[in-house]
Structure 1
């Protein structure tokens, strides 16, 4: 077998999946995946994929779809390739990430590199560390370490791309984002002139900068570079932290130059609109909305035509405008029944190949290529390859009413098999808290717990985003109060529905979820028999001031303008913040408790955990403490993820055991 064929074989199935008599091992859920995604070239002739075959670092491979020959075009011995984009049909831009290092041990920035699809003309474009830490003159032509790829690919029709020059201070706070036009062959970069301090950019249909966002104190502005006048003008101005004002989120430019934006615009849920640039206003009628969900998604453009919109309601899906794509979707769905199948065509196709991402609640994401002419479909790779769908449990979205009548969405994951009643249950609380917690997909945390015999309940308590403005606003200043009641009401709903054994319920979560775990143990001691908190907030005042010794990446703007409105003012709401402080309520917590923190966490510094552990163990002997010294806000290293979830499994088995 040729080297190319060997590589292709590794791409097609990076790790073979085998049936397990016992539940899949912990590593099947939490080890690093040997395959990490793929993307078609603009013309659809080539497929770039991220793969770390044979225990090597993740590299960048390119497959020629004409003959399925494959070649590793970039791979390092000391770091992994993390992100990449097609510059054009012949060249790729990429950056690195060291998957063997926790946050404490990260010494390098991602850097920027470029290489041709055949592995030739490799060039480093940006440094991976500060130049004063290096010697010699080899850094003079390189961009600074704080140069990053954009999330947007750009025109993909020349050797030029736009990249971001970030102004980073302190523990990783981004204060500005300047734009550079970079020649990926010569390394020459030219800054883009702009007014004010930029915080973000949007490229137009030609891949040129057209929208810029600025932030002054708490006011965000959306500016538009008018191609007719070559001048910047303001489209919107609103409060960046509370959303107050006539704001919207620029999404993308269509092939005809129409600006598409996401906005509430008099609605409870956010929808997709075509923005009227001539009159600086939103139209009365939206283009796409999602019943019960805020719009989240992206445009699908090919051959200079808007084919459809990728959307995300309970699950991801596609709203096709194009009849041909609707027909192709039906054919792909017939070949891949029971899964969500997301089709992405190349932007300027010269072949019939499209990329398909396929997944379900039981099936981790698979990547396939599909030939629209002959119907041929080939799997390229899959994440979590040791997981078999038949060994996973079902996951569904339900709704229940909180005690004040507010409708709360909740994700329920059940063990595989037919026994779905009177189960021990883990109430898994998402972090944020101002994020959407769950989706209909394969979730490693929930499926691991379900594979061990537990029902897993994930409430989208008030304050969670993605379910409309009313749901979000209802969570303001409700940490430890109505937000906490929503979680308890969800647990009681699961008991009433017969899913959960009311005597065997444990609450768990990370970050805000860790905070809610501790408050739940204190506030509802009869409901929760144990708790698991990792990297959790233990006192809101510590978020405002973590002390001179501990670094925090919470910006001064968020502390001044966001936290007082959304969480609580240190002065005006002092009594409430004390009453909802797990640290000050530690003596009330008597249940068994597992605490885990990262020694290098800058989002929730470890003093949150240390102070709380010191306080709670004075009156509670059943507290287990683990510190991963090199980790930040969550576990980057697979050995720590595997160790942590092994501890979780033993802790749950001891306190609410599924067996």
Structure 2
């Protein structure tokens, strides 16, 4: 019903056109910016805030009145797009800005901070977007705006007043984070007050009443969790540990439950992280976990309404919800019956007095889609699709597989096969995730993976040792294994795919960004008979370069990470000098003879351009099949659709030449 109204507001939005089943979808369908990018119910579920966009227009903030399905745009910019947004009460929203039309090189402002009523009235700027001192032009008062480094918290807060908590990040002389202040901000007057912090605070957490209760500090390499006593306002330390290497005792704050219970993430005596209640009076973690996930570290959040703990949202192979509330269990079954082909994530409002809940749906073949479910009438009302031009029937199928590394370690991996045609003896891309100490992927639609599958390639994404989310043993097994056992895990995945009859020998290409780019180059060095080509974008080309840098470029790697983290997790430049030389793509460049596609961003601060320049010059001395591209305005990845389309168009042609169908 109101979807028609939303589409009218977003006039010109892309829609799915008729496609010949045999024709692959156009590249633009994968790499244009999403058409619909978010929705949020008001605290009572009477209104829905949405961020809507259309080709060649700025994203706007609109509010749908669910009582009569009317739609009103309440905020928009001429020179920017709406960024994050959230309800702070039934009447008022806060939001910041972003710019989807520029790359990293052209970003010279912060997100700002703004507030507006749901009917578009009482608009107020609260924080500046630039480094200049600015004042609000409000006729009621002329007050200095908060500085550009003022940011929204991830937590929603109490959602019951015109005031919110925001963070203010302060930087040292090297422009590294020194500490993060917490401010209580009145969105009507612009007045703010600072919460006393317990040290060099890096993160904050609000309790079940929306008040500051937990602060995490960092002093050199020591991280500490502090608790603020609600009676005295004084801070006391709960635990401290090595921020980079972990160790016991150790836990990560998760949330406060509606009854005031403090929940934390801890491994306890197990290999996997679980959710535990923490006894604040006794100062220890309770013995029995609230939630444990078989085979996975816990990653997720609590779901509450009206002072009740309804369930827990978490990630295993895909996102899912464990409901404690019987009514929500029944509701989940009702929604799943209406949408049997997708994962359906239900989000209730904070204090609902209408039967509406928000449903976010997706699958391996379907991008994110949003709808409202009326629990009284048992009806679904579509709100918007992130990529409406994508036709699920044309997408590939994805599954989580496992194989054994050569030393016996179990390696999870994501295998995506083309949606049509042969399922065996396929050309394959081994796509290596960045990080590397992160989880690489989860089950669901991915533009890059599905683009490759739509062109007839199998895609294998290994969660090699060092990847997080699969337990401490799997994670720690990757320490100091760049180019060594981590690399073997990736190669063993390609060999597994050949043995299973999935991948055609002599038709495998390795590819990846950041650490994945490093692994691409080392794969070509270590296993020249296995990989016929390589695609590296924004990839590290030498570990020592991450330590030493270059006078002409600025890196965003902190001195703390270089001093306390990298020597133990990656390698010490002095103690491990021989290993770092043997596992340097730059120093081993003469051994790479396979065709290469190299792409970098000129404004990259994570892996600055000198990584690419030095390696390009070294490899070209003995390899004439090297394609090189630099996107001047981009940073560590491609922010602009035109560059994503250009790069993946190059990838398509490169793969077709080297492992494509004869």
- The TM-score range, normalised by the shorter chain, is over 0.9
1:32 paired to 2:37: no
Shift of 1:627: 0.1
Contact 1:8 1:68 in 2 (8 A): no
Q: How does 1:414-493 map to 2 (within 5 A)?
A: 414-493=417-496
| CA–CA distance in structure 2, aligned partners of residues 441 and 184 of structure 1 | 38
> Cα distance 1:136–1:446, how it changes in 2: closer, same or farther (>3 A)?
closer
Contact 2:214 2:226 in 1 (8 A): yes
Shift of 1:658: 3.7
Q: 1:353 is matched with which residue: 348, 352, 356?
A: 356
Contact 1:454 1:658 in 2 (8 A): no
Shift of 1:10: 5.0
Shift of 1:547: 1.5
Provide the residue aligned with 1:105 in structure 2: 106
CA deviations 1:260-279 (Å, max 9, x no partner) are 11111111010111111111
Structure 2 portions without partners, runs of 5+: none
* Matched residue count: 657
Q: 2:195 is matched with which residue: 188, 192, 195?
A: 192
| CA–CA distance in structure 2, aligned partners of residues 135 and 202 of structure 1 | 29
CA deviations 1:70-123 (Å, max 9, x no partner) are 111001111101100111011110000011110110121100000001111110
Provide the residue aligned with 2:150 in structure 1: 147
Contact 1:80 1:96 in 2 (8 A): yes
> Cα distance 1:157–1:591, how it changes in 2: closer, same or farther (>3 A)?
same
Shift of 1:173: 3.4
Provide the residue aligned with 1:261 in structure 2: 264
Provide the residue aligned with 1:120 in structure 2: 121
Structure 1 portions without partners, runs of 5+: none
Shift of 1:418: 4.6
> Cα distance 1:644–1:8, how it changes in 2: closer, same or farther (>3 A)?
closer
1:399 paired to 2:398: no
Provide the residue aligned with 2:16 in structure 1: 17
Provide the residue aligned with 2:211 in structure 1: 208
| CA–CA distance in structure 2, aligned partners of residues 373 and 13 of structure 1 | 34
Q: 2:553 is matched with which residue: 543, 550, 554?
A: 550
1:656 paired to 2:659: yes
Contact 2:165 2:185 in 1 (8 A): yes
> Cα distance 1:322–1:539, how it changes in 2: closer, same or farther (>3 A)?
same
Provide the residue aligned with 1:365 in structure 2: 368
What SS does the corresponding residue of 1:471 show, helix, strand or coil? helix
Provide the residue aligned with 1:74 in structure 2: 75
Q: How does 1:44-443 map to 2 (within 5 A)?
A: 44-53=45-54, 55-131=56-132, 140-169=143-172, 173-443=176-446
Contact 1:82 1:96 in 2 (8 A): yes
What SS does the corresponding residue of 1:236 show, helix, strand or coil? strand
CA deviations 1:299-318 (Å, max 9, x no partner) are 00001100000011000000
Shift of 1:195: 2.0
| CA–CA distance in structure 2, aligned partners of residues 135 and 155 of structure 1 | 28
Shift of 1:55: 3.1
What SS does the corresponding residue of 1:55 show, helix, strand or coil? coil
> Cα distance 1:218–1:75, how it changes in 2: closer, same or farther (>3 A)?
same
Shift of 1:9: 4.3
CA deviations 1:569-594 (Å, max 9, x no partner) are 01100110010000000000000000
| CA–CA distance in structure 2, aligned partners of residues 604 and 658 of structure 1 | 34
> Cα distance 1:135–1:469, how it changes in 2: closer, same or farther (>3 A)?
closer
Choose 15-24 or 27-36, whichever is displaced more: 15-24
CA deviations 1:579-633 (Å, max 9, x no partner) are 0000000000000000000000000000000000000000000000000011000
What SS does the corresponding residue of 2:154 show, helix, strand or coil? coil
What SS does the corresponding residue of 1:53 show, helix, strand or coil? coil
Q: Please report the TM-score for the alignment, with normalisation by the length of structure 1.
A: 0.97
Q: Please report the TM-score for the alignment, with normalisation by the length of structure 2.
A: 0.97
1:583 paired to 2:586: yes
1:628 paired to 2:627: no
RMSD: 1.8
Shift of 1:15: 3.0
> Cα distance 1:195–1:128, how it changes in 2: closer, same or farther (>3 A)?
same
| CA–CA distance in structure 2, aligned partners of residues 231 and 57 of structure 1 | 45
Contact 2:136 2:144 in 1 (8 A): no
> Cα distance 1:633–1:374, how it changes in 2: closer, same or farther (>3 A)?
same
| CA–CA distance in structure 1, aligned partners of residues 625 and 464 of structure 2 | 29
| CA–CA distance in structure 2, aligned partners of residues 16 and 10 of structure 1 | 14
